[in-house]
């Protein structure tokens, strides 16, 4: 069936399927059609593409999908995001600056889709985001936060083996004397609120939209902690 004649719920399921199939051209073409039809980019991400990625993860866990397929799915996701990202960024440019965030995936971990999504949505909501990429050591997060006078560091980890490197970011901030100035939020599929508390992070967000809400809350906390100038 041609994508342009699909009903909206079918469009979301076609988006989901394009990720499962690892089909970047279909994924980006559906994203283009969604924008042309006035669909909110966030809705396309939430109802179409992200459920596709979740399916892929489940199939991989059951041994029904292999690494090359998962890589093709990631490529399809990136392809859709390259179309949706400019539309979301445009929204951010129309808002007052909400705060500065340094973002990255922990050392030893190359998963980037969730982090990119978090960065895009923060940008769409007026945050200035510096994305350090993947496989980032704690010291690098701390150095960039110092350079940019950042308000928040967002650390992503997708592997149970790299989660502990989120703690290394907090340790690096403490060692560089920045911990009291920089809030730390953590996320990634295996990360939980309990883990965030255990390592002394300031917050945990299960998805990109709640990362925006959390970042706003952390900015509020920072402002309340600032001494009054009379």
Query: Which of 205, 199, 193 is closest to 156 using CA atoms?
Result: 205
- Decide: is 56 part of the binding site for ligand HCB (CB under 6 A): yes
Enclosing H/E stretch for 79: helix 67-93
CB within 8 A of 45, min separation 6: which ones? 80, 81, 84, 117, 208
- Decide: is 76 part of the binding site for ligand HCB (CB under 6 A): no
Which position among 11, 122, 155, 219 is part of the footprint of ligand HCB (CB under 6 A)? 155
End-to-end CA distance of the chain: 67
Stretch 90-109: interaction string toward ligand HCB, x if CB under 6 A:
------------------xx
Give a three-class secondary structure readout of 25-45.
Answer: HHHHHHHHHHHHCCCCHHHHH
Which position among 1, 5, 36, 61 is part of the footprint of ligand HCB (CB under 6 A)? 61
Q: How near is the Cβ of 230 to ligand HCB at its closest, in Å?
A: 35
- Decide: is 154 part of the binding site for ligand HCB (CB under 6 A): yes
DSSP 159: S
d(CA 172, CA 146): 11
Q: How near is the Cβ of 159 to ligand HCB at its closest, in Å?
A: 4
Q: How near is the Cβ of 119 to ligand HCB at its closest, in Å?
A: 9
- Decide: is 67 part of the binding site for ligand HCB (CB under 6 A): yes
User: Is 45 buried (19+), middle (13-18) or exposed (0-12) by CB count in 10 A?
Assistant: buried
**Residue number with CB closer to ligand HCB (84 or 117):** 117
Site for ligand HCB, residues 190 to 219, rule: CB under 6 A = 190, 205, 207-208, 211
Q: How near is the Cβ of 100 to ligand HCB at its closest, in Å?
A: 14
- Decide: is 115 part of the binding site for ligand HCB (CB under 6 A): yes
d(CA 151, CA 128): 10
Instruction: List phi, psi (to 5°) of 202.
Output: -85, -15
Query: Which of 208, 146, 147, 155 is closest to 179 using CA atoms?
Result: 146
Q: How near is the Cβ of 2 to ligand HCB at its closest, in Å?
A: 28
Q: Given CA atoms 142, 81, 210, 73 in this order, what sign does their dihedral have?
A: negative
- Decide: is 119 part of the binding site for ligand HCB (CB under 6 A): no
**Which residues form the interface with ligand HCB (CB under 6 A)?**
50, 53-54, 56-57, 60-61, 67, 70-71, 74, 108-115, 117-118, 154-156, 158-160, 185-190, 205, 207-208, 211
């Amino acid at each position: 069936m041609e994508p342009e004649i699909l009903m909206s719920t079918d469009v979301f399921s076609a988006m989901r399927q394009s990720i499962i199939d690892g089909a970047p051209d279909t994924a980006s073409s559906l994203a283009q059609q969604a924008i042309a039809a006035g669909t909110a980019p966030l809705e396309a991400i939430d109802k179409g593409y992200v459920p596709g990625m979740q399916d892929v993860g489940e199939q991989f866990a059951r041994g029904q999908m292999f690494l090359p397929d998962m890589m093709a799915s990631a490529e399809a996701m990136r392809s859709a995001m390259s179309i949706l990202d400019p539309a979301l960024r445009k929204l951010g440019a129309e808002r007052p600056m909400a705060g500065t965030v340094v973002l990255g995936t922990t050392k030893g971990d190359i998963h980037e889709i969730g982090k990119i999504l978090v960065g895009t949505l923060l940008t769409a909501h007026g945050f200035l985001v510096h994305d350090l990429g993947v496989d980032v050591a704690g010291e690098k997060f701390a150095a960039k936060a110092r350079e940019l006078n950042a308000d928040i560091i967002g650390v992503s980890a997708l592997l149970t083996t790299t989660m502990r490197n989120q703690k290394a970011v907090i340790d690096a901030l403490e060692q560089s004397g920045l911990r009291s100035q920089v809030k730390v939020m953590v996320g990634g599929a295996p990360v939980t609120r309990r883990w965030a508390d255990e390592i002394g992070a300031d917050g945990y967000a299960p998805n990109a939209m709640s990362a925006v809400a959390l970042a706003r809350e952390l900015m509020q906390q920072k402002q309340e902690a600032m001494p009054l100038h009379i």
